[in-house]
Structure 1
Amino acid sequence: MAGASASFSPIQHIPPIRRNILSRGLSSMCTRLPWAAPMACAPDAAPELLQAAKLTVDNYVRSGMVVGLGSGRASGLAIQYLGRRMRDGALKDIVGIPMSVSSASEAAKSGIPMDHYKDNLQIDFAFDDADIIEEGTLNAVIGRRKLEGGESIIQEKSIVKTASKLAFIVSDKQYTRDLDGSIPVLINSGNWIETAEEIDDLFLGDAEVWRRPTSGPAGPLGGDFPLVTKEGHHILDVIFTSPILDLGQVAESLSHIDGVVDHGVIFGIPCTVIIASKDGIQVADNLAKSSVIDKL
C-alpha cells in the first residue's frame, strides 16, 4: 500500500491474506474508517439534526423514566435538550444511563442525574446515533467512531437492546438501502490473526480486514499499538469494498466465527428511526410487521 509504514515491511513477512490489502490502499479514509480522522470527517451539526433531537425527547421521554443516553452528535444534542427540559420543569425525575464517556460528560454538564448500567436495570427508553441504518429492516451499525477511554461497544449495544423502547437519530444520508463502509468486530486478543483470516475468507473479495490501532497508522496489523477495549478485546474493522446486501446476514455470519465476541450490528429488534433532512423530519419504525415511515 502506498505510504505504508516501515512496521509493515517487508511485505513477504505479512500473512498471505494481508498482502492484497496492503497493495490496494484505502481511497476514502473518512467514509470507510471514520474513527481515523473524526474531526476532519464530521460536519457541523445541521439545524435539522437539532430538530430531530428535540422531537425525540418531546415525543418519547416522560417524567420518571430511566433513559439510555446515546453517543454521537445527534445524541449529544438530545442530551442537551433533555437537560433544558428538566431545568424548565417540563420533565422531572429522569435518570440517565450514559452509553459512553462523551454522553456522560454531556449529561453532567446538562444537569441530568445519572446511574451506571447494570445487567438487571430496567431502561424505559433509549436514544442513540447510528453510523448507518438499513432502509426497510432498520438494522443498524454502531461503533465506527473513535473510542475514548472507558468506552464500550458491548455496553452501548447492551443498553440499546435492553431498552423497552429505542430510537435512533440519524441524517437522511445515514438511512439508505445502499449500505457501505465498515463494521467493527470485537474479537479475543489471543490468536487474533486466525480470526481475521477466517473473516477475510468469509467476505473474500468484498471486504478488507484491518485491526484498529490506538494510535499511529491504520493497517491490517494495527501498527505497534492495537486498540484494546476495556473488556480486553481487539477491534477488527471489516471494511466493505462492495455493497452490503444483507446486514442481518452479515451479522449472523460474523457471530458464528470462533474468536468473535460481538460486533457493531444491531438487528432484529423493534425500534424507531428519526431521520433528519432539509425537507423535514421523517419517522420510520418496524414496530408492526412492516416498516412504516411518516413525514412530519
Structure 2
Amino acid sequence: MTISPEAIKQLKQEVGIAAARRVKSGMVVGLGTGSTTAFAIAELGARLAGGELKDIVGIPTSFQASVLGKKYGIPLRTLDDVDRIDIAIDGADEVDPAKTLIKGGGAAHTREKVIDSLAGLFIVVVDESKLVDKLGSTFAVPVEVLPMAIAPVTRAVEKLGGKPELRMGIKKDGPVITDQGNMVLDVTFDNIPDAAELEKTLNNIPGVLENGLFVGVADLILVGEFKDGNPIIREF
C-alpha cells in the first residue's frame, strides 16, 4: 500500500502526541530531533500552556530541538543543570526487530546518543516506514568525523567494507556541518551482522566522534501505522 505524504505526516503527529502524553509533571525530558519528535515537543508545549503539565525541564539534543522548545514555552536546561533524565523522546531512521536503531538523518546523533542513553525511559517515535527486518537496508550509517580526519577515516571505513559518502548540504554549498562543527560520512554496508561490534569498531577509528548505530538504548518503540485505513499506535 502506498502511503501519501499527508498520511505519513498524520502518523508522525499521532505517534509524537502519544509519546508526549507519557510525560508527567516534574519530569526532566530529553527533546529529540526530527519531524516526528517536533510534534511531541509541540504537544508538550500545549500541555504546559493548558496547565495539564507543570515543572518539566527539557534537555535538547540539537539546535533544532532548542529552537522548538523555546517556541513552545518549554524551560530548557543543559546536562550540567540536571542529575537525571526521566524520559527521552526521539525518532529513528531505521528500527530492526531487536530495537536496534540507525539514527542521524538530521546529523544530531552524537548529542542524541548522549541524552537518549542517560534517560530512564527512551521512547522511540516512528511511522511504519522506518521498520526494517535488516539494519542498514534502507539507510546508511551516519558517522560524525573531525574535519581534519575526513581522508583517513574514509580510508579506514572502506577497509571495513563500507561505502562512505560525505554528506553535502541541501540549499547550501559544501558539506553538512554538525552542531559540534564536524562533518558527516554516510556509510553504506552491504551487511551488518553485528551492530554492537560495528558501533565499537567505528568509534575506535581516530577522528570519529560518534556513529548512528544505537544498540541496546531504546526501551519502547511507538509505531504509527494504518490498520483498515485508520491511524493506530502500536508498541513494541
**TM-score w.r.t. structure 1 length?**
0.69
Q: Is 2:44 the partner of 1:82?
A: yes
* TM-score, normalization by structure 2: 0.85
Which whole-Å deviations, capped at 9, do the CAs of 1:178-216 have from their partners, x for residues lacking one? Answer: 33221111223334212211111111xxx4211223468
User: Which residue in the other structure is 1:32 paired with?
Assistant: none
Please give the secondary structure, in 1, of the residue aligned with 2:65.
helix
Give the letter aligned to residue 170 of structure 1.
Answer: V
**Pair 83,215 (structure 1): closer, same or farther in 2 beyond 3 Å:** closer
Structure 2 gap ranges (5+): none
Partner in structure 2 of residue 233 of structure 1: 182
Number of the residue aligned with 2:77: 115
Mapped to 2, the partners of 1:105 and 1:117 lie a distance apart of: 17
Deviations 1:60-94 (A, max 9, x none): 21100111111111111111111111222211111
**Partner in structure 1 of residue 150 of structure 2:** 192
The 1-side partners of 2:59 and 2:16 are apart by 17
Q: For residues 52 and 229 of structure 1, what CA distance do their matches in structure 2 show?
A: 27
Q: CA deviation at 1:272?
A: 0.7
Match of 2:14 in 1: 51
1:270 Cα deviation (Å)?
A: 4.9
SS at match of 2:200: helix
One-letter amino acid of the structure 2 residue matched with residue 229 of structure 1: T
Deviations 1:155-190 (A, max 9, x none): 222111111111000011212213322111122333
Measure, in 2, the Cα distance between the counterparts of 1:73 and 1:188.
27
The within-5 A match list for 1:65-214 is 65-118=27-80, 121-135=83-97, 137-145=98-106, 147=107, 152-179=108-135, 180=137, 181-203=139-161, 207-214=162-169
SS in 2 for 1:75: helix
- Structure number with larger C-alpha Rg: 1
Q: Please give the alpha-carbon distance, in whole angstroms, between the structure 1 residues aligned to 2:37 and 2:170.
A: 26
Alpha-carbon offset, residue 259 of structure 1: 2.6
* Number of residue pairs matched by the alignment: 226
Secondary structure, aligned partner of 1:118: helix
Aligned CA RMSD, in angstroms, stands at 2.4
Distance 1:231 1:129 in 2: 20
RCO higher in structure (CA 8 A, sep ≥6): 2
CA–CA separation in structure 2 for the residues paired with 1:213 and 1:176: 26
- After superposition, the Cα gap between the structure-2 partners of 1:119 and 1:248, relative to the gap in structure 1 and judged at 3 Å, is farther
Q: In 1, distance between residues paired with 2:72 and 2:149?
A: 44
1:272 is the counterpart of 2:220: yes
Identity of aligned residues (%): 29
**Structure 1: distance between partners of 2:167 and 2:81:** 28
Matches of 1:77 and 1:270, distance apart in 2: 19
Q: Does structure 2 retain, via aligned residues, the 8 Å contact 1:125–1:166? A: yes
Would the alpha carbon gap of residues 187 and 124 (structure 1) be closer, same or farther in structure 2, given more than 3 Å must change?
same
